[in-house]
């Protein structure tokens, strides 16, 4: 018998100059900011899943971006959501997408595939490093956008119940 596969979440740090695109969720326990993305479907290629997720959430057409997304960070997650007893397990693949001039205005201002149309916001990279992010990529934001041409991927510290609190 083989072990089940770990679900993979693909996402993107989308940069426009010194600002990053985040999905802002207001929760009773505090604000949470998510990097746009979602789960990869069975047998779906990772690049196709990223294109699909960014289209579904932000109405972003990656065809408008001349440079392909770069896989920059990988993060393992095994943590409990409030009110659950079974741990959530995911492998996060975080890509870097740098927008050319004029594309930012084509991105939706609310998350398109959420029932509550959660706010899409743009935050300075330095400010984003101090926010409650999902996945917890705060250390990776140090130096962005200046380090945007690095060689990734880089493994980030795992998200566990000790290192990450759900909101």
Q: Is residue 3 part of a domain?
A: no
Contact indicator for 160, 75 with CB cutoff of 8 Å: no
Residue 166 domain-assigned (yes or no): no
pLDDT at residue 4, as a whole number = 54
pLDDT surpasses 80 at 47: yes
| Structural domain boundaries, residue 54 | 14-160
Instruction: Indicate if the pLDDT at residue 46 is higher than 90.
Output: yes
Mean pLDDT, to the nearest integer, of 116-142? 93
CATH number at residue 147: 3.90.79.10
State how many domains the chain has: 1
Give the separation between CA 53 and CA 7, rounded to whole angstroms: 15
Does some domain include residue 110? Answer: yes
């Amino acid at each position: 018998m083989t072990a089940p596969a770990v679900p993979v979440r693909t996402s993107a740090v989308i940069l426009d100059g010194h600002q990053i695109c985040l999905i802002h969720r207001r929760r009773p326990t505090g604000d949470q900011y998510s990097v746009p993305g979602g789960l990869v479907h069975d047998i779906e290629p990772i690049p196709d899943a990223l294109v699909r997720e960014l289209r579904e959430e932000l109405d972003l057409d990656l065809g408008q971006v001349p440079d392909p997304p770069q896989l920059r960070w990988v993060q393992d997650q095994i943590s409990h959501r409030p009110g659950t007893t079974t741990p959530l397990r995911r492998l996060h693949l975080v890509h870097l997408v740098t927008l050319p001039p004029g594309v930012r205005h084509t991105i939706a201002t609310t998350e398109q595939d959420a029932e509550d149309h959660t706010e899409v916001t743009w935050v300075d990279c330095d400010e984003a490093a101090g926010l409650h992010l999902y996945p917890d990529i705060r250390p990776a934001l140090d130096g962005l956008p200046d380090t945007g041409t690095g060689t990734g991927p880089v493994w980030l510290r795992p998200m566990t119940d000790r290192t990450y609190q759900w909101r």
